[in-house]
Amino acid sequence: MKNETKMQVMDFIGFLETSGKLNPQEHKRLREALELNLAEKEAQKLPKRPLTRKEVADFLQVCTRTVDRMCENGQLKFFKLGPRYIRFDIEDVLAVMQQQNPVECVN
């Protein structure tokens, strides 16, 4: 799902909540379901080989320096192929993505 479509769905969910047709618990469940669905669809696009730092950064929508910090902090598991090359397992990247707490937008 494209970011634009995702934002439209999130806006619609927010509208339902503010109109009283959706309570906060249902809103949270819908948002989590949407995020999990997006993660699964993105995972299908990933190659079945170990990922590079750049690929992980693109998938998580962060810069490569953030990926480096996540490795340094122990948030993201990696393995070395040599003194300069590191790779990531897809499952580890998905685990990090599911652990991230989504930021609530406040208008």
pLDDT in tens, 14-52: 666 666 666 667 667 767 766 666 666 666 665 678 889
Q: Per-residue pLDDT averaged across 57-83, rounded?
A: 91
Looking at per-residue pLDDT, the higher value among 90 and 39 belongs to 90
Which element (helix H / strand E) includes 79? strand 79-80
Return the pLDDT at 92: 87
Q: How many CB atoms lie within 10 A of CB 70?
A: 20
Residues facing 79 on adjacent strands: 87
- Both ends of the chain: CA-CA distance in Å? 24
- Percent of the chain past pLDDT 70, that is, above it, reads 51
In this predicted structure, what is the pLDDT of residue 107? 45
CATH domain 47-102 topology: Multidrug-efflux Transporter Regulator; Chain: A; Domain 2 (1.10.1660)
Q: What is the pLDDT of residue 6?
A: 65
Whether the pTM exceeds 0.85: the reply is no
Average predicted confidence (pLDDT) for the chain? 76
CA–CA dist 83, 91 (Å, integer):
23
β-bridge pairing 79-80 and 86-87:
antiparallel
